[in-house]
Amino acid sequence: MGKISFEKEIPPLVKELINDLLNKGHEVYLVGGAVRDILLGRPVPDWDISGDDNFSSDAIAFWKSKDFPCFMLEDRRNFARLLSDEGWYIDAQPMEGTLSEDMARRDFSINAIAWSPVTGELTDLYGGMNDIEKKLIRAFNPENLKIDPLRLLRAIRLESRLGFDIEDETLNLIIQYAPLLYRAAPERIRDELFKILDRSGSAEIFKRADELKLLGELFPEIINGKGVTQNEFHLYDVFNHSMAAVGELEKIFNNNISDFFPRLNEPSNFLSEEIVPGRKRASLLKLAALLHDVGKPGTRELKDDRVTFYGHQTAGSEIVREIAVRLMLSKKEENYIALLVEHHMRPILLSGLADVTSRARYRLFRDTGEYFPDLMLLTMADMAAGCGPASSDEMQARHKDFCIRLLNEYDRKSSEVKPPRYMDGVGVMELLDMPPGPEVGKILEDLAEASAIGIVKNREEAEKYITDRYMKTD
């Protein structure tokens, strides 16, 4: 093929790395998604470079000399990931055999194009350029999907990201090989999942994954919700309600999150904040929305001709912990999702009351802590996804207003989540002449609650409050 220059598209630091590797005698090519995205005129989120057997160690050494983070991926042969401070990263992986042999192992034709920084020539052995022009995702060798079934999930993400169509034969292969998805390493499945969650339109991608039999391999717990009918507050079964909740959450993200966070000049900063390195709040919140009702299929009962799901939030919290372990999420991520699932019904139940006491509001703030705003967004999406005949516009508006009022109160009184107790455990034991034990902790928590709702305002009132409630009289 003819020569082509990528001089303008490649970041200076990537050029510097490539030149350093070439000067050390390595064979180096720009490959895969990086070439595809440049040809499409799209931003390149990650730069794939391939080379000879020893080039990745030199790539690591160069990157370290620039004081940027980098590491070797344990499950891939000499695969180095080099992180930048601009959001993009470089994946440096040795070729498997010659360039032609390496391209033959690629997933789709559009990703089997290589560019030589030495000659400027493109190597396209499988019609990738033609498929880019046709906007088509095509597996040119079925065995490549079977060898690495994570590519099945990647196909539907690329379909959404690029706006391409998946070729019919490739669609059939995805359905055929879907049961093999479990063979992919859990951390690779997790990373591909979060690439989906990071995108706007995740709900539609999950629906597509269900059509192609992939969602059930990822989350059989969600598929269990198919056909599980609900009460009059819901239009959909549990499965479709979960899909709708993700969509409603994305509507909040995209359209009116500023309505809920007037205190923030840049509400998007809240969503893009990383709960753990590399995983954003918005993505984890969407995962919580997807999983928030996984406890329903196992708790459904029919009582007096009415469907109930008593305790589904607690059952669901336990299930999502198992899912988090399966996906190799961190403990912090596990706790985050489990907390949101455990408490997602509380705001809905409270918003239906004529009067919500200060004590009830304090307990909700206390139990959810810094993730209270996240819970409000989840519960608004959950409510909006209900849409049943008993879920009136008035009820929807009342719930939204209630959540916004609570968010504003949380902003003003966030100190109440950890209010002054005016006494410590030693003071309580001396006052009541009691030994150490769990009862002291219960008294301190009661005192904190009394302080938060304004019953106790100083040490003297704290002592009176404790003695009135806990002093034993003969």
Which residue type sits at 208?
R
3 secondary structure, DSSP code: B
pTM of the model: 0.85
pLDDT of residue 181: 96
Measure the CA–CA gap between 93 and 31, rounded to whole angstroms: 10
Measure the CA–CA gap between 225 and 291, rounded to whole angstroms: 11
Domains of the chain: 1-134 (3.30.460.10), 135-211 (1.10.110.30), 219-417 (1.10.3210), 425-470 (no CATH)
Tell the burial category of 437 from Cβ atoms under 10 Å away from its Cβ (0-12, 13-18, 19+): exposed
**Which SS3 state, helix, strand or coil, does residue 122 take?**
strand
Which tokens in the block code for residue 141? 């060798």
Q: What share of the chain is helix, strand, coil (3-state, %, to 5)?
A: 60, 10, 30
Residues 460/463/466/471 CA torsion (nearest 10 deg): -130
Measure the CA–CA gap between 385 and 379, rounded to whole angstroms: 10
Tell the burial category of 185 from Cβ atoms under 10 Å away from its Cβ (0-12, 13-18, 19+): middle
Q: Kindly report the CA angle at 202 between 198 and 204, in degrees rounded to 5?
A: 160
**Are 411 and 376 contacting, i.e. CB atoms less than 8 angstroms apart?**
no
Phi, psi of 242 (to 5 degrees): -65, -40
Residues 181/182/185/186 CA torsion (nearest 10 deg): 110
**Are 212 and 206 contacting, i.e. CB atoms less than 8 angstroms apart?**
no
pLDDT of residue 443: 85
Q: SS in 3 state form for 91-121?
A: EEEECCCCHHHHHHCCCCHHHCEEECCCCCE
pLDDT tens digits for the chain (474 residues)?
568 889 889 999 999 999 999 999 999 999 999 999 999 999 998 999 999 988 989 999 999 999 999 888 755 567 889 998 888 899 999 998 999 999 999 999 999 999 999 999 999 999 999 999 999 999 999 999 999 999 999 999 999 999 999 999 999 999 999 999 999 999 999 999 999 999 999 999 999 999 999 999 999 999 999 999 998 878 889 999 999 999 999 998 887 676 666 554 455 688 889 999 889 999 999 999 999 999 999 999 988 888 889 999 999 999 999 999 999 999 999 999 999 999 999 998 898 887 888 888 888 988 898 899 999 999 999 998 987 666 677 888 888 888 888 888 887 655 455 667 788 888 888 888 888 888 888 888 888 878 777 788 888 888 888 888 888 765
Other Cβ atoms closer than 10 A to 318: 13
pLDDT of residue 454: 76
Which residue type sits at 50?
S
Residue 204's nearest CA partner among 67, 100, 212 is 212
Which residue type sits at 129?
M
Beta bridge partners of 51: 28, 94
